[in-house]
A and B are shown apart, each in its own frame.
Chain A
Amino acid sequence: MKRLFPAALMLAIVALAVYPVFATGYGVRATLQVFMWIALAGSWNVISGLTGYVSFGHVAFFGAGAYTGGILMASAGWPWPTAALAGGLAATILALVIGGPCLRLKGPYFAIAMLGLNEVLRALVSYFERLTGGGNGLSMPTLDATIPIYYAMGLTAVAVTVTARLIIGSRFGLRLMTIREDEMAAEAMGIPTFQHKLLAFLISAIGPGIAGALTARDQGYIEPLSVFPLATTITMIVMVLFGGKGTVWGPVLGAAVLFVAQEMVWARYPYIHPLLFGAIIVGVVLAMPRGVLGLFQTKYRLPRTI
């Protein structure tokens, strides 16, 4: 079983790499979205799954990346790959500005602070209308770049997953987990918890930042509601909780399963969509707090880096 896994993984990656050659436009777009969710969920997992500090406003980084990238592309004519990286950078800077003060607080207070972040950013975007187009949104020159963006997003998803794997398999990752387990004891053992939390937070902002800029390019148009919706944070959280928080592949599993379910089943009933997600969160928290992979991990004594 152990030897099968890397081979299967290689196969999957090759398959995904050649997929655009023979797939439909819809297929490419859908898979692109799965990549995006993997990048988002995987990043959320790094801060919230490992340290237990729930980032309720994580979509703020997605939006920040989208707007930074969008503005650079629309007003300054930057090519989208560079703009995407700039989006990641902007998100990281935002994480530093927010995380610096907020992570000094204990878990619950941090969660509260993050709750309001979303609304604040949306308000700021509306306020700085000249730059961001305000409520009217921001348009970019049309460009058919779906396939290159497919690869770019795929690469982002891979990068996020690899980063998660490296962190979870390292002592740094273990230390992040001690923050979740018992922050006070961790401090008493000489672990500088604030620095660790901050680093994890910064790392968790890059993926969403880049994904946001890429999405902006792909859609060609962004507006505050489309890039700062609470629904995105909710979806991220559900995916990680369902798949298994604190695991490497949990967010990937959650993203894939829930996205497919969403497209196939719930897209027909868009109105109960959030309700279902709310119910799933409640169900997972009560019955399966460690998610699907967490459950397997405990039952079959799987390694931590699953």
Chain B
Amino acid sequence: MVAVLEVVDVRKSFGGVRAVNGVSLTLERGRIYGLIGPNGSGKTTLFNCITGVERCDAGRIRLFGEPIERLPPYRIAQRGVGRTFQMIRVFPELTALENLLVVTTGPHDAAQARARELLSFVKLEGLADEYAGNLSYGQQKLVEFVRMLMRDPSLVLLDEPAAGVNRTLLGELLDAVRRLRDAGKTVLLVEHDMKVVMGLCETVFVLDHGEKIAEGPPGVIQADEQVIEAYFGR
């Protein structure tokens, strides 16, 4: 059974700084993974390498066995990788509905139907014709989330989904993530909120200074000495 994502010894430097220094990990189908680490440990850079936004200096990245490290971002997205951003990036002058429509290329009616369906999924169908820029932070977050789902990605990358989100909304988001997992998708999320990570993820990777220092179920990670050192110092 070929893994959904294989990251093999990826390295990326900016000037003299080694943001990602030989990280390897494997993601299997139908599981939720967490990527944690102190600020500057290389999490977002790794995300960027996987999604093609940055080109890694060395190493291999394979999606369903096919190498993707040299592909432009849009091709990687077309192959089934969906992503949200740390700072919400909806298209402000497009309506919520248009934000979703824009992503697909199939027949218009089918696309519209799916877009409306996804908006109802997060209870935003009433705001379908509102400019995305006028929506509240939480609403934009949800729009970005379902926009990512329009292409029905197999691999979902979430960059700090819990950031700035109130408890109710957070609960809904996490439920949605679990449902994605149940539908057979693979989720990798970067998160600082430990409660979210521990409650949601089945396996957690810990990065520090661009290297993977631990990998395992949340309970084990929490007790790992290296992890504690990385976060809290000696």
The reply, when asked whether chain A contacts chain B directly with Cβ atoms under 8 A, is: yes
Cα–Cα, bound, A176→B89 (Å): 16
Q: Are B74 and A178 in contact (CB under 8 A)?
A: no
Q: Are B103 and A185 in contact (CB under 8 A)?
A: no
Verify if A121 is at the interface (C-beta below 8 Å from B). Answer: no
* A243-285 near B? 1/0 per residue, CB < 8 Å: 0000000000000000000000000000000000000000000
Q: In which size bucket is the chain A interface?
A: 10 to 19
User: A171-B101, A187-B77, A190-B103 given as contacts; is B72 within 8 A of A178 (CB)?
Assistant: no
Q: Which of B56-64, B92-100, B211-219 contacts A (4 or more CB under 8 A)?
A: B92-100
A-B contact count (CB 8 A): 63
Residues of A within 8 A of B73 (CB): 184, 187-188
Asked if residues B103 and A191 are in contact (CB atoms below 8 Å), the reply is: yes
User: B101 and A185: CB pair below 8 A?
Assistant: no
* Closest Cβ–Cβ distance, residue A115 to chain B (whole Å): 26
Interface residues of A in 166-191 (CB under 8 A from B): 171, 174-175, 177-178, 181-182, 184-191
CB distance from A247 to the nearest CB of B (A): 12
Partner of A187, one of B74, B108, B111, B150: B74
Q: In this assembly, does A215 line the interface, its C-beta being within 8 Å of a C-beta of chain B?
A: no
Residue among B74, B103, B108, B111 making CB contact with A193, cutoff 8 Å: B74
Quick check: A184 and B53 within 8 Å, CB to CB? yes
Chain B interface, >50% SS class:
loop
Please pick, from A171, A187, A192, the residue contacting B102 in the complex, using a CB distance under 8 A. Answer: A171
Task: State the B residues within 8 Å of A (CB).
Answer: 51, 53, 72-74, 77-78, 83, 85, 89-94, 98, 101-105, 108, 111, 147-148, 150-151
Residues in chain A within 8 A of chain B (CB atoms): 171, 174-175, 177-178, 181-182, 184-193
In the A-B complex, list the 10 residue pairs whose CB atoms are closest, starting with the nearest.
Answer: A190-B77, A185-B89, A181-B91, A187-B73, A190-B78, A174-B102, A189-B103, A187-B74, A192-B74, A178-B91
Interface pairs (29), CB distance under 8 Å? A171-B101, A171-B102, A171-B104, A174-B98, A174-B102, A177-B93, A177-B94, A178-B102, A181-B91, A181-B93, A181-B94, A182-B89, A182-B91, A184-B89, A185-B90, A185-B91, A187-B53, A187-B72, A187-B74, A188-B74, A188-B83, A189-B74, A189-B102, A189-B103, A189-B150, A189-B151, A190-B78, A191-B74, A193-B74
